[in-house]
Chains A and B, each alone.
Chain A
Amino acid sequence: MTTPDSASPRSMRTPLGRVRSLGASHSGTFDFWIQRLTAVASVLLILPVVIVVMMLLGRNQAGAAQVLGAPLVAIILLLFIIATAWHMKIGMQVVIEDYVHNEKIKLAAIMANNFFSFAVALASIYAILKLSSGV
């Protein structure tokens, strides 16, 4: 019996050779590494971020804008947003690859995931930079 993904009887290619580079993600360990890198970054940043959130409690817009516009606060939040947005993009892609088996729907879902994560990051970064410049 010959299935579409099996080699011809005369082929010299090994089973490993045929499946190499045909994995679900079509990429190597880059995402694995970035997922851990951004996780460590988020853990390091959580305490400063919690302090910033505590500083904002009970303040009105003018007070909040003043706190968020301070350079140190803005930098902490920017780092946290970049790390978490990247982390969640990779995490959601893993979930999609685990549960969505239809190739076209999977591609669409991964695209939507990229759009969402990038939009979340960019919108947050824009808001913080706007608060920092005081425009």
Chain B
Amino acid sequence: MTARIERPLSPHLQTYRFTLTMAMSIIHRITGIALYFGTLLLVWWLIAAASGPTAYSHVQAFTTSFIGRLVVFGYTWALLHHMLSGIRHFFWDLGYGFKPNEREALTWAALIGGISLTVLLWIAAYAIGGGR
């Protein structure tokens, strides 16, 4: 073992044919990164609640603004999507769902489930929040 063996390298992402599971893998990572920085919102909100009315009103001014609503809506989707996509990974970790139709079905379920749950949750949020 003196000489270095020239082994083939893994081709770059764009060489592969586009597949749904591949796209979902990328989305899983992107939502993870988004949630990572999104925790700053959670921290801001909790510290504001612990600080007092003025600090809390700043948070509420943001969350009730258009941009704020958009960010929190995006955060809700990223969280639920990442969760469902992650549950899909549990199936695979346990050795299930590797057939082509199964992995496609799992992936579609996570994708559609994430969007549906987000919309449902926001309808519920408006119904509850609006009534208070």
Interface residues of A (CB under 8 A from B): 1-3, 6-7, 9, 15, 36, 39-40, 42-43, 46, 50, 54, 57-62, 64-65, 68, 77, 81, 84-85, 88, 91-92, 95, 120, 123-124, 126-128, 130-131
Contacts and interface: CB of A to CB of B under 8 A. Distances in A.
Nearest to B43: A123
Name, among B42, B48, B87, the residue most crowded by chain A CB atoms within 10 Å (CB to CB).
B42
Contacts of B111: none
Main secondary structure, interface of A, reads helix
A95 B34 CA distance: 13
Interface of B: 1-4, 29, 32-33, 35-36, 39-40, 42-43, 46-50, 52-53, 55-57, 79, 83, 86-87, 90, 93, 121, 124-125, 128-132
Given A68-B46, A128-B50, 18 more contacts: A1-B2, A1-B4, A6-B2, A50-B121, A60-B56, A61-B52, A61-B57, A64-B49, A68-B49, A77-B46, A88-B36, A88-B39, A91-B32, A95-B29, A95-B33, A123-B43, A123-B47, A127-B50
